[in-house]
Chain A
Amino acid sequence: SQKIEQNSEALNIQEGKTATLTCNYTNYSPAYLQWYRQDPGRGPVFLLLIRENEKEKRKERLKVTFDTTLKQSLFHITASQPADSATYLCALDMVPFSGGYNKLIFGAGTRLAVHP
C-alpha cells in the first residue's frame, strides 16, 4: 500500500542545535517534494520544493535532501530557535500517469519543539 511516514513523536531539541526531520514514503514515485510549516490554529505555509533530480536544496537555515533510491527526504533546520517550533509537513507532488494535474499527498507531520 502507499504510505508517507513522518515521525509521529514530537522532536525536542535545544536551541542552537540542528533539527532533522524525516519523510519516508513507499509505493509512490513523486516528481517533486514539498515541505510546509504549520503553526497551531493556522494553515500550512510553504517552505521549500525539491525536484527528483536534485539531491539538495537550501534556503537560509533550511536544507532539504531528496533520495529517490531510499524514498526519503530529510529536512534540516540549523541553528534552531524557539520560533522554529511548529509542525512540519512533507508533501509528495505526484505527476499523473494519464493527463490531469499534479496532486499533493501530505504526510501527517512532525511537531518540532525547540527549547531555550
Chain B
Amino acid sequence: ETGVTQTPRHLVMGMTNKKSLKCEQHLGHNAMYWYKQSAKKPLELMFVYNFKEQTENNSVPSRFSPECPNSSHLFLHLHTLQPEDSALYLCASSQGAGQAMKNIQYFGAGTRLSVL
C-alpha cells in the first residue's frame, strides 16, 4: 500500500456520461496530482494542487474538471469524454511541490478508464 487510494479501479463510460474519479491520500502530504498514462507513452501531468490551490493546468480539455476540497482528497470530474481519453488515470501526492525530497511522488493504483 502506497497510502494513496483511488476509486474506482475500472470505469467504462459512454461519451455522454458524467462520472468522477476519487483519490484519497493518508500520508499528510500537501500536494496532489492527476496524471494520464496512455499505452507506450510517458505519464502526462494534468493538474497539480498545492495546499488545495490549483497551481497547474497542463492545457487539459475542459471535459476534465478537477476538484480538491482539502489536502487529502482529490477528484476528477469527467463529462462528454472522447474515445481517445481512454487511459490509466493516476493520482499522486507529495510532501510538497518545490524541493527535491519533497517532490518524490506516491502514486495510487490508478483508474483504468474506457470511453465507448
Q: A93-B100, A102-B97 are in contact. Are A108 and B41 (CB under 8 A)?
A: yes
Set of chain B residues within 8 Å of A71, measured between Cβ atoms:
none
Interchain nearest-CB distance for B4 vs A (Å): 7
Asked if A44 lies at the interface with its beta carbon under 8 angstroms from chain B, I say yes
Interchain nearest-CB distance for A50 vs B (Å): 10
> B50 touches which one: A46, A51, A101 (CB < 8 A)?
A101
Set of chain A residues within 8 Å of B115, measured between Cβ atoms:
none
Q: A42-B110, A43-B4 are in contact. Are A51 and B100 (CB under 8 A)?
A: yes
Contact at B104–A101, with CB atoms within 8 Å? no
The number of chain A residues with a CB under 8 A from chain B is: 25
> Could you tell me the distance between the alpha carbons of A42 and B105 in the complex, rounded to whole angstroms?
14
B contacts, CB < 8 Å to A: 2, 4, 31, 40-43, 45, 48, 50, 55-56, 90, 92, 96-101, 103-110, 112
For the complex of A and B, 5 pairs with smallest distance between CB atoms: A43-B107, A101-B97, A106-B43, A101-B98, A106-B42
